[in-house]
Structure 1
């Protein structure tokens, strides 16, 4: 007999997979309509199933390389379970997860997306949403942020307005709180600057109403394509120079530094024994440091 939480886990995992399918289809459709002057054929995602090295579960790694629009984009989903390794267990206990110091069992499912674009005028972007469960607690987390190397204020305004609309489905002050959280989370202390122009970020979301928290997480996921694809359409044919490409590669170096040094998801994925290539999918295909 399936209990209520097992049914909820299945619904969350199914939603993340359905969102992945929708985004992959939309990105491949965008490739089909992209200008072909640069030469490459429309990009397609290569698929690979992933497994957690220790414990249970795995996922689907979907990566497109060398497309007309996307130089590299990954859209990964995973559902994993088992017992956390000691480093991850300590990190969870330090965050105040109830019972984690004595019972390291867990279940987690989510989607993670990072797109690095061919044209430097089209911004890079990140999005993820997830559900996490332990025997004593459950919560949702996620968000999205925009990472242009050449900033267009109108693009930033559109991205944030779309995320604000998703947040407004929950509470009037939701966007302001989660935007401030993103500004703090996506900050690179050793550079003294943000990695991009922000977005929203939330974690440990447990209001006591699972349906409400799941509905909000779905709203964030649904907001991604209308937040990002209009920017791709607006900038994809903009001519670019070698100086623009140089700025893009240097900005990618900043992105790589953040993900390798500070990103909580990267740390958890590696510490929990998930497929390293899937965890590090977010890294750009090329980057540069001065």
Structure 2
């Protein structure tokens, strides 16, 4: 590994941590600003921060990160913002999965390094949509790439919220090429589709994986703008919907939709499968699951 790649990995890892800090601060400020609604008398939510670790098969240290989770807040019923940097050697199933995706040389030299941020928010108000966001960098001796995106998951849909979320994504992607937003939107529509239910888990967003154009700086800049788009895309929707009156029928709709979300993450999500298969902290990997859900 070259000194340049070492510096680039450190730069990417530091950026993911910076983005994490900005989002955590913004979410706690949102909790502080909540003064109306059925949960306004509750104490403002705060993140509980736990260090996570990953151990290799021989028990040696293989990196880790921070798991930040807020439960039972005024606005957020459960939200997690995780950041990690892990490394080591991929096991056979992970090697085979990477080789099937076209990663060169992974079965001959299965060393890897990965860093990223992952966020999932489940809201108190059924009219306020759940949301997911992640960005990451992955390295093996044969290749490096970036991935990530964000998608909105309302149980009660509002067309203007969907339009706002997508418009902000487009604004942040257009400087990297106007063909990029339609491409990543279509990718998200395909990736977040739930085949056994015959529907998407939400109203989409943007998604990319295996991003390596050969220009590391350009691909990293794109990844940063995907991260920068998140707060302006999501916060205005939450601020608008958090005080909307709701009843038990709305809550029931929310819990059933969360069941769909849980099904997707446990059956199809690539990040969940990778995290569990490579020995990362299971609580951090499964942070995305909602606090309550139901099935009809």
TM-score, structure 2 length as denominator? 0.96
Which one is further off, 8-17 or 38-47? 38-47
Structure 1 residues 176-191: aligned runs within 5 Å? 176-191=182-197
1:145 to 147, 151, 162: 151
What's the secondary structure of 1:208's corresponding residue? coil
Shift of 1:169: 1.7
Shift of 1:2: 7.4
Say yes or no: does 1:46 pair with 2:64.
no
Structure 1 residues 206-217: aligned runs within 5 Å? 206-217=212-223
1:254 to 241, 260, 271: 260
What's the secondary structure of 1:110's corresponding residue? strand
What's the secondary structure of 2:55's corresponding residue? coil
**1:16-70: per-residue Cα shift (whole Å, max 9, x none)?**
0000000000000000000254231100000000001325100100000000000
Distance (whole Å) between structure 2 residues aligned to residue 70 and residue 86 of structure 1: 39
What's the secondary structure of 2:132's corresponding residue? strand
Match of 1:154 in 2: 160
Retained in 2: the 8 A contact 1:114–1:125? yes
Shift of 1:101: 1.7
Distance (whole Å) between structure 2 residues aligned to residue 135 and residue 2 of structure 1: 10
**1:192-233: per-residue Cα shift (whole Å, max 9, x none)?**
000000000000100110000000000010110000000011
1:102 to 98, 101, 108: 108
Match of 1:7 in 2: 7
Match of 1:123 in 2: 129
Retained in 1: the 8 A contact 2:55–2:63? no
Distance (whole Å) between structure 2 residues aligned to residue 201 and residue 219 of structure 1: 13
What's the secondary structure of 1:52's corresponding residue? strand
Distance (whole Å) between structure 2 residues aligned to residue 168 and residue 103 of structure 1: 37
Match of 1:33 in 2: 33
1:57 to 41, 54, 63: 63
Query: How many correspondences in the alignment?
Result: 290
**1:218-258: per-residue Cα shift (whole Å, max 9, x none)?**
00101100000000110011000100000000000000000
Distance (whole Å) between structure 1 residues aligned to residue 165 and residue 211 of structure 2: 22
Match of 2:16 in 1: 16
Segments of 5+ residues of structure 2 without an aligned counterpart are none
Say yes or no: does 1:66 pair with 2:66.
no
Say yes or no: does 1:203 pair with 2:209.
yes
Shift of 1:90: 1.0
Distance (whole Å) between structure 2 residues aligned to residue 107 and residue 53 of structure 1: 13
Distance (whole Å) between structure 2 residues aligned to residue 289 and residue 35 of structure 1: 32
Shift of 1:166: 1.2
Distance (whole Å) between structure 2 residues aligned to residue 169 and residue 186 of structure 1: 25
TM-score, structure 1 length as denominator? 0.98
**1:91-140: per-residue Cα shift (whole Å, max 9, x none)?**
11111100012111000000000000000000000000000000111000
